Amino acid sequence: MSKKQDKPNYVTVIQNRRARFEYEILDTLVAGIELLGSEVKSVRLGKASLSESYAMIHHGEVWLENMQITPYELNTLDKLEPKRSRKLLLHKEEIHRLQSKISEKGLTLIPLKAFFNDRGILKVELGIARGKQLHDKREAVKTRDAQRELQQLRKQY
């Protein structure tokens, strides 16, 4: 018998690794994403990228722009554009709350990761973010290097 581990019930498929370096994440929320055809199969195979993507609110709906999903090779029926706009599924109250937060100067919506939940549905974790200045990025690199050195010293003793 195997013990059930205390892990989250989702599998991260795609991560936006640059997001936490480029932006200061103030708040996060999870949204569903509307996909067409064989896009889910491509995402399950890991053929997707969030690297240059962002989210925007347009006419009371949240849209994910520039998310790259490479078309599934075995699909012969429909040819979908890899970087098309994809609708994010949120309740109206969540969209209004997001819009009020985003209206503040300098804030934007950045996708942090995409994952399949325990029911097998693709979800996107969005972060409300403020862009970092160059000196903030340098400070982040310094603290990361200092933490790495501390870990090395701890391993030695």
Please name the residue that has the structure tokens 């989702």. 10
Integer Cα distance of 142 and 157 in angstroms: 23
Integer Cα distance of 33 and 124 in angstroms: 7
Q: Which CATH code for domain 11-132?
A: 2.40.280.10
User: Tens digit of pLDDT for each residue in 45-103?
Assistant: 888 899 889 999 999 999 999 998 888 888 777 777 888 899 999 999 999 999 988 88
User: Tens digit of pLDDT for each residue in 5-58?
Assistant: 555 555 668 898 888 888 889 999 999 999 888 888 888 888 889 988 999 999
Q: Which residues of 65-80 are buried (b: 16+ CB within 10 A; e: fewer)?
A: bbbebebbeeeeeeee
pLDDT given for residue 153 in this prediction: 87
pLDDT given for residue 81 in this prediction: 81
Report field, pTM of the whole predicted structure over 0.85: no
- Give how far Cα 105 sits from Cα of 52, 101, 143, Å: 21, 9, 28
- Give how far Cα 17 sits from Cα of 22, 100, 132, Å: 9, 27, 15
